[in-house]
Amino acid sequence: MSNGWPTPPGRKTCSRGSGRTARPSSTTSSPICTSDGPKVVRTPGLWEEIKAHGYTGGYGAVRAYLQPFRTTPTAPAARPPSPRTVTSWILTHPDTLPESERLKLKAVLASCPELDALTGHVRAFGKMLTQLQGDQLPQWIKAVRADDLPSVHSFVNGLERDLAAVTAGLTLPWSSGVVEGHVNRIKMIKRQMYGRAGFGLLRKRVLLAS
């Protein structure tokens, strides 16, 4: 007993750090490396088992012996970016892409040559579109045909069906975007009035909105 009290009859004294045997926790376990690979070994269970075979040491000695064989749990791998995220990186101009996202995209492209080739074609087409370089369209189509990218080949087939118009759209400064915008606005107004008014009211709403 501590604090000056005498030890009760039949009990043995035990000084701190003398290797006393305490009741081990049943939850003490972690992987250890064995000849068959990492295995989960519960120290209390192992201690109880070897005691049954005549081991007279304490629980602390068994735990200390197993400690060098413990393996440190590895951190979970980072979650890969979603297809939507990678698509947004590819469609973003390289000069405006943040450095952190640029490095992530670089790592993704390094592991997928087909995606790397697709990214090059997308950016080349974006350059033609924004800088009105329609004269480079034939060379771009030829480069796409040289790669095994069936989905992009389908896109090219659509371009070649109306090649003259596509070339003009990538070369001339005029655009039908304003007309398309007005068409969409009229369709929206028509849907708002569907089943409640006729052409006369639709005409007034379109003209007044203009």
Do 95 and 133 fall within a single domain?
A: yes
Residues 138 and 183 in one domain: no
User: Domain for residue 3, yes or no?
Assistant: no
- Residue 190 within any structural domain of the chain: yes
Both structure tokens of 185: 């606005």
For the segment 73-130, what is each residue's pLDDT rounded down to a tens digit? 666 677 888 999 999 999 999 889 999 999 999 999 999 999 999 999 999 999 998 8
Listed residues 37, 69, 101: the one ending a domain: 69
pLDDT at position 88, please?
A: 93
CA distances from 10 to 7, 17, 27 (A): 8, 22, 31
Within this chain, do residues 182 and 164 fall inside the same structural domain, yes or no? no
Task: Let me know if residue 10 belongs to a domain.
Answer: no
Same domain (yes/no): 64, 101: no
Buried b (16+ CB within 10 A) or exposed e, 11-31: eeeeeeeeeeeeebeeeeebe
pLDDT at res. 75: 65
Please indicate, yes or no, if residue 1 is contained in any of the structural domains.
no
The 10s digit of each residue's pLDDT in 112-126 is: 999 999 999 999 999
Q: Are residues 102 and 60 in the same domain?
A: no
Residue 9 domain flag? no
pTM score: 0.53
Tokens of 4: 């000056």
CA distances from 126 to 3, 80, 92, 93, 94 (A): 84, 26, 10, 8, 11
Residue 151 lies in a domain: yes
Residues 140 and 96 reside in one and the same domain: yes
Same domain, 61 and 123: no
Residue 8 tokens read as: 């009760």
Residue 139 pLDDT level (bands cut at 50, 70, 90): very high
Domain co-membership, 153 together with 113? yes
Helix axes 59-66, 43-52, angle to 10 degrees: 120
Q: How many domains does the chain have?
A: 3
The parent domain of residue 50 ranges over 29-69
Q: Say how far apart CA 89 and CA 82 lie, in whole Å.
A: 11
202 and 127 assigned to the same domain:
no
181 and 165 fall within a common domain: no
- pLDDT for residue 21 is more than 70: no
Q: Is the pLDDT of residue 132 over 60?
A: yes
CA 39 to chain centre: 30
The DSSP output letter for 171 is T
Residue predicted with more confidence, 25 or 88 = 88
Predicted pLDDT of residue 15:
45
Do 163 and 195 lie in one domain? The reply is no
Q: Are 131 and 156 contained in the same domain?
A: yes
Question: What is the per-residue pLDDT across 142-198, written as a single tens digit (0 to 9) for each?
Answer: 999 999 999 899 999 999 999 999 999 899 988 888 888 888 988 888 888 877 777
